[in-house]
Structures are given as C-alpha cells and as structure tokens.
Amino acid sequence: MRTTSAILSKIFTQRFYIQNTGFFLVLFYLLFGVVNGANLVAYHKALMLGFLGNYSFLLLVMLLWTSYALKCVGFILKTFQLQGYDFLFPTLGSVSKPARIRLWLLLHTAIYMPVLVYAGIALIIAIQHQYYVPAALIVVLNMANCVWPLRLYERKLAQPDVLFFTSHLQRWLNRHFTKPPVLFFLYELLTNFPRRIVSTKLFSAGVLWLTFLIMERGEYFDLRGLQIGVMVSVMIHMQLMVHHRAFDDTYLHFMENLPIRLAGHYARLIGVYLIMFLPEMIMITVNAYTKTPIGGLITVFCTALSLLILFRCLLYFPKMNPEIHVRYTMLTSFIVLFMILGHYEWPAILLLQAASAIIFFKKYRSYEPYIPPES
Amino acid sequence: MPDPVIALHAVKKNYQDVPILDIPQLELPKGIYWLQGENGAGKTTCMKVMAGLIPFKGEILLQGNVSSRQHPVQFRRLINYAEAEPLYPSFLTGRDLLELYLNTKGGDREAVRDISDSMGVDIYVNNPVSSYSSGMLKKLSLLLAFTGNPALILLDEPLITIDTRALTVLYDLIRTYSAKGVSFCITSHQALDAEELTVTGTLKVAHKNITLS
C-alpha cells in the first residue's frame, strides 16, 4: 500500500524535477561543467569562502536561494490550479493539521533540497573557518525558506480562489485599472503563455546583441547592418503573430459587435506591435544612440514596425497558414533587404505601410477563420 | 406602416461552400420575436450575421436607413448581441468588459449599474472571467447586451444556465426596454413564459430561410 506522502511526492516532487530537467541541466553545467574536474572541489570551496567572507556577495547568494524557494512555492501553488488536480482540496483538507504541516514540509524540502545540500556544505565550511555570523545567517534563511511557504500552502487550501501572493496586487489592479484592448494580446501572452513571449524576446535580444557585437568587432557602424539585424529580430516574432490571429479568432469575436471604426481597429493593431517591440527599441537606442543620429534610429524603428504590421496583416488572408506565411514574409524580407542595401529605406517603409493598410482595410470586416474542408 | 426595425435584403451566408442562410427578404417591425429552429438550422449564424459579427452577402438595414455596409459603426451602435455560450479572454475582468462596452457603445452608466446589481453581477465584476461559472459568464454577457442605446437586442438562448432570480430580472428588463421602444429577437428551445412576455411574432429558421408567423 502506498503512503500518502509517496503519492503526494509523485504529484509534486517528481513532477517538479521532470518539468525542470532543462533548468537543472543548465544549472549543473554552470556549477560543475565549466570547471576542470580536478579543480572542482577547490573551485567550490573558494566560491563558498568568497561569499562567506563578503556580506554583499552573501546577500546575492541568499537572494538567489530565496528566488529558488519562490520558484518552488509557485510550482506547488500552481499545481492546485491545474485542471484535474481539484481532488487535492478535499483530500488534503481531510488530513489533520499537524499531519498536513508535516506533509507540506516534506514536499517543500524535497524540491528545495538542491539549495539545502549546497547551503549545508557551505555551513560546514563556514564553521571550519570560523565564519559564525554568515553560518547563522545561512541557517536562519534556509529555515525560514522552509517554513514560510507552509503558511501559503495552508492558505491556498482554505481559499482555493486566491492565486499566489500577487493576488492582493492583482485584485487592486483589477478594481482600479481597466485593461485597454491594445493590451489584451500582451496580457494573454504574459498570463497564459509566458514562456512563448520570454523565449521570443530572448532570441530577439540575442540577435540584436550579436548584430552590435559583429559591428563592434569590425570597428564600424552601418545603419544598414543594424536594419538587417532588426529584420531577423522581427522574423523571430512570427510565431507570436500566428498566435495573435488565433487569439483574436477565439476570444475577441465579441469586439466585432462594438461600434469601432476600422481606423480604430487598425490603430489598435499598430499599438500592439509598437508595445511588443518596445524592449528591442530600448535596446537599440541604448546601443546605437551615440553612433547614429536620431533620424537613423527612427528609420530603424519604422522599418521594424512596418514589417511587423505587414506580416500580421498578411494573416487576414484566411487561407494563410503558418507555412504560406513564412514564404510570404521571407519574400517580403528579401525585397526589403535589397531596398535597404540600396539606401531605399523610406520608400521600403512607405510601401510596407501602404500594403499593410490596403490589406487591413480591405480584409478586416470580411475576414473569418478558414476551416479546411474535410478530405 | 412605420419603418421596420430591421430589414434583411438578399442575405446569404456560406461556411466554405456550404450555404447556411439564404434570406431573400425579411422585415421586422418593432417588437419581441421568438426565433425558433432545430439544432444546426442556422439560428446562431443568423444572429451573428445580424450583429455584424461575421461577413455575409446582401444587406441589412436598421431603422430603415442605417446600413450594415455603409454605416458599420452606427449599425453596431444600434444592435447588441448576447451569445449563447459567451467566451472572453481569461485574464479580463467583468469590469474590463463592461467599461469597454460602455466606452464604445455609450449609454446610461447608472442604468447598467442598476442591472448589474439586480442580476448580482456586481459581486464578482472585479474578478477575472476565468473564475466565473457558466451562469456568471452568461449573466455578464446579458448585462453587456443592455449597454448603449440599442434599437434591437439579440439574445441567443438567454434562458439557459442562469438562476431563477436572474431570469425574473431578465424578463423584467425585456419588458421595460421593450416599452421604451427597443426590439428583441430571442432564440430559445424552451418556450418563452407567456405570462412574463408577450411575443409579437415567431420567426422560424428552416431551409436556410426565415419566415415570420
């Protein structure tokens, strides 16, 4: 017969480590893979002595441990929200409080274990080298990180509708701030598909970083080079555009009954991509404002936005599936690339804008999702 | 004869190559209409066409002169629609949606607040719709259909999933708005309560057409 803790361990602990395999692989590589095996112990001992002997460094390490604790808490609380996991409320709710606290402690420490192991070794080193105050801080912090989450788990069990500890802020925002339609899709990405937007933004930032690195190594700055980097960055956003269309098709159907002018809908579309590309625009400005006049930056931003908007507008052709979309975006990009290389940036921007507007105003009201006929 | 509240001229709707609606002519004077039809007959498609939610061939006129093609914005001000199974983005709150409707459709905020209170929507309006039950979602969508200054309100299966108190409020609202000159087109598989509502006419969707009896 399986014990309750074994079943819960399967639900929480095993799932946590399976879902975070990638995270642990990267972490283990950074901690143990980048150092020569022969020097590994000496390296980690030096690292521990480093943070034990410096309070600023220790604070940073403690912040990292606490952020990992937050990750653990988030995982357990989110499990309760998952479809099919409702049974946790009546089952765990039927366990006596002391036994339940023990179960929480067991589950939480099991997923917090990597930090406990590393902190435990650091503690031994601290005592050996008579770093008593840092040792005490490590003990207190890790005990706290094992205990305070239990209170949250208890609270979650008693109030199933309360989400994490951002709930108060979220509720306050919901009462005092009305989400404008221009933010709907960004909310969708940030709340329901955070990995998708984060990975897109990381890749996009990586491409821009590489663009600046290549130009810096070559000791030159050419606006056209930057624009080519920006074009690649825009193309990385294509998966978000396809998602945007699916989101509009599924959830924003009701907006078609609202008395909004076509120009209003178009302005909203432009706004979505302007806000979405804002992080890249900031990154470009920070890296390029000393190398090019403001006019150059405006040209780059206009090219990026024009491409984003046209690529999204292409999806107003109902039969434009992701495969066909890629073909058209590649073709457009090649044409724009040669226009940029030939210093025809503004004619390219104007053409892109005109094409976007024509497609949007012609297609928006008549668009409806394409359902492929059954073969 | 006064101008019809809604007039459909040569309205056709296909899904891919399959014709769903083919209505040569339909004119409805002011009143409350019960739209009937079997499952899949095209009731919801018809309502979505009337509400400007989906593209179609032909033309629809509201109040004799507001065209679905020439005056798309004015057209949408005059017609409201509550879906049978409303679906909204999970992160939006009822208040977000209510503000959006009030900001675009306009109308009396105080009156809408009263309806919200009487239906019990005010209790959960600040919560995200992902936390709503189907009944709560339905009440919100019915409330949204009473925003603005519509000439015609389309209610798709309004009687299902809502509680008896909300149902009483809904019947009362339909009567009150109807007395003010607002017309209604209601689909329902259940018979509308004859003691609560006096129906002007019954519309039957069959063979891709709509007939008034």
pTM: predicted TM-score of the whole model, two decimal places? 0.76
pLDDT band at B43 (very low <50, low <70, confident <90, very high): very high
Q: What is the per-residue pLDDT for B40?
A: 87
Q: Which residues of B touch A369 (CB under 8 A)?
A: none
Residue A375 has pLDDT above 60, yes or no: no
Q: Give yes or no for residue A225 having a pLDDT over 80.
A: yes
pLDDT at B6 over 60: yes
pLDDT digits (tens, 9 = 90+) for B69-86: 999 999 999 999 999 999
- Would you say residue A338 has pLDDT above 50? yes
ipTM surpasses cut 0.85? yes
pLDDT at A27: 87
Task: Give the range among A78-82, B56-60, B208-212 with minimum mean pLDDT.
Answer: A78-82
Greater pLDDT, A285 or A83? A285
Q: List Cα–Cα distances, A153 to A3, A73, A93, A161, in angstroms.
A: 20, 8, 11, 13
Tell me the two tokens of residue A355: 């094409």
Which residues from A are below 8 Å from B74, CB to CB? Answer: 259
Q: Whole-angstrom Cα distance, residue A230 to residue A308?
A: 11
Q: Across the interface, which of B53, B96, B128 has its CB nearest the CB of A178?
A: B96
B27 Cα distance to chain centroid = 17
Report, as an integer, the average pLDDT of A6-13: 89
The reported pLDDT for the residue numbered A165 is 47
| Average pLDDT estimate for A212-224 | 86
Highest average pLDDT, of A43-57, A65-79, A347-361, comes from A347-361
Contact between B92 and A257 using a beta-carbon 8 Å cutoff: no
Greater confidence, A148 or A221? A148
User: Tokens standing for A214?
Assistant: 């290549």
> In a mutagenesis test of the A interface, which of B69, B126, B143, B144 is the best target, namely the one with the most A β-carbons within 10 Å?
B126
pLDDT for the residue B115: 95
Q: Indicate yes or no: CB of B105 within 8 angstroms of CB of A161.
A: no
| Nearest Cα residue in chain B from A250 | B87
Nearest residue of B to residue A81 by CA position? B131
Helix-helix angle A294-314:A345-363, to 10 degrees: 30
pLDDT in tens, B134-161: 999 999 999 999 999 999 999 999 999 9
In whole angstroms, what is the distance from residue A45 CA to residue B106 CA?
A: 68
**A171 contact residues in B (CB cutoff 8 A):** 126
How many contacts (CB atoms, under 8 Å) link A and B? 81
Helix (H, G, I), strand (E, B) or coil at A183: helix
pLDDT band at A29 (very low <50, low <70, confident <90, very high): confident
Question: Where exactly are the structural domains of chain A?
Answer: 1-161, 163-367
Question: Cβ–Cβ of B86/A254 closer than 8 Å?
Answer: yes
Tell me if chain A has a CB within 8 Å of the CB of B18.
Answer: no
Provide the pLDDT for residue A97. Answer: 87
Whether residue B178 is predicted with pLDDT greater than 50 in this model: the reply is yes
SS3 B5: coil
Helices (H), A1-81: 4-9, 15-19, 21-28, 40-52, 55-81
What pLDDT score does B181 carry? Answer: 95
Q: In which band, very low, low, confident or very high, does the pLDDT at A329 lie, cut at 50, 70 and 90?
A: very high
- Asked if A260's CB is within 8 angstroms of B73's CB, the reply is yes
Report chain A's mean pLDDT, rounded to a whole number. 90
pLDDT band at A162 (very low <50, low <70, confident <90, very high): low
**Domains of chain B: residue spans and CATH:** 4-212 (3.40.50.300)
Partner residue facing A257 (CB), from B51, B74, B91: B51
Mean pLDDT confidence for B37-58: 91
pLDDT at residue A166 in the model: 53
CB contact under 8 A, B83 and A365: no
Q: Smallest Cα–Cα separation from B142: which of B186, B104, B179, B106?
A: B186
Number of Cβ atoms within 10 Å of the Cβ of A326 = 14
pLDDT bin (cut points 50, 70, 90) of residue A337 is: very high
Q: Which of A78-82, A151-155, A260-264 has the lowest mean pLDDT?
A: A78-82
What is the per-residue burial (b if ≥16 Cβ within 10 Å, else e) of A294-317? eebbebbbbbbbbbbbbbbbbbbe
Reading the block at residue A309, the tokens are 């908007």
By DSSP bridging, strand B152-156 and strand B32-36 are: unpaired
Q: Which two tokens stand for residue A43?
A: 């390296």
The answer to whether the Cβ–Cβ distance between B15 and A371 falls below 8 Å is yes
> B22 - beta bridge partners?
B12
Pairing of strands B152-156, B57-62: unpaired
Distance from B20 to chain A by nearest Cα, in Å?
A: 15
